[in-house]
Structure 1
């Protein structure tokens, strides 16, 4: 059955945040074209609400649709009582109580204030827009606020930072539900990166950089195509036709990482892709990704994403039954 996502639009909602869930989830489909999600938008009374973009939103549904939700998304209001009070209005509290117990809760930006006031973030790690992180922590001290990440996945409750971080979170949900290939296809359809550096452990994939005429891009491309081979700085610098010193400096300027750190990250991503999309043995994947041994793969994968290879494969194997074998 199609997974139903219900977006609850509150007064003063950020228009960009409001559109994220619909855009991402309606773009996720199987290879046959069958949609994986149905996205509906509602308000507390079924009437229009004011947005931050100078227009009012007229929804197709009222709060009764919340009772049918598999996932509830709450995009953030820009300002107002929800960000100043520890308690929800009676109308909002009553509406949230109709949501099925097994439903997944998602907040985008300051929508975390709603979840916190409802008690859903008590004792949990959560995030919000960095500009409002201190306010959230002060107003709701029982919430473990992490201000420097794109999103936090705490199982049934997920929170994202501001604006485009909501896209990263929704793509993460698609990946968790249906695997890497469908999530990456979804990202391509909406023309966004499938991965962004977020300062946290994230089950997400970094695409290979495009080749450019100058700089270290061509050498990075070569590194990505030869991850199973041992390399050293002298060999990489020679490939880029630079001195070791110049190559190291240019590489860090272009990627923000040293060549060694970048190479390790790419090897981890190659291993993750092979675990998700092939039936190769862990030993073979360790060799193909350049780790040499299963112990090396296990150590670096666990450091990057917090799970062992076999556990990662169980959780993130592509779930599209229409994908060719």
Structure 2
């Protein structure tokens, strides 16, 4: 089974390398045409090509090029009205002769839509009726019967990814832009969410400067933050982390002689609640800490912990 898997990888890689060698100025022409397009990019395909088309449209949309997928069957039952005169349409068909896709072309011509095709045959009907064509001719399918689309769908997918990335870089699309389209994802959370939205504010573990070692240990265990705050919300004097505690024990194993002053870190880092999570987590990784206090000067309103979110 492992040999079969390796063979599939090798065949598909071989085909991708072949398609990469076919890239020419037509790719640049397609990118420029889409950049100059004032409408949307509509991707059309059926069967396995349709599934690839859905992914391409989704990738376009998430990287700064408004796009959606249109099934040719739905197109013939009223959805052609979705296509505007200023839209670009990408037709995907490896053979370039898919009947359902061919039937859309007369409308696109009448509508004066920009037509881009992705096929494995530059002489196919779909390619000849396109304003721009991208050739994804493969060496062979990974399917031993040469029946199931395998290398050909991979080639179409990678061509779509290549277009998306070329457009993304041309538009100078940044992390912040990506995050706006993915507010529910981890990147969106980090780039758009502020510390005050995720900080912990309840039952913060405070101790006083004269507390005993046992008080520190109990407060740290109850607080479940791996640290305690020395002082009060309005006057923070320092913090003691579990690391501070261990280092203090290594220096002096007689806990009766350990004082809060001996263990605590004075002038701890205090972050403004309006800071973005992304910036704060970079700082925390740089300082190799898992908790930061949130507030201003020596007054705090909460604690942000990097590993609990």
- Give the TM-score normalised by structure 2: 0.26
Larger radius of gyration: 2
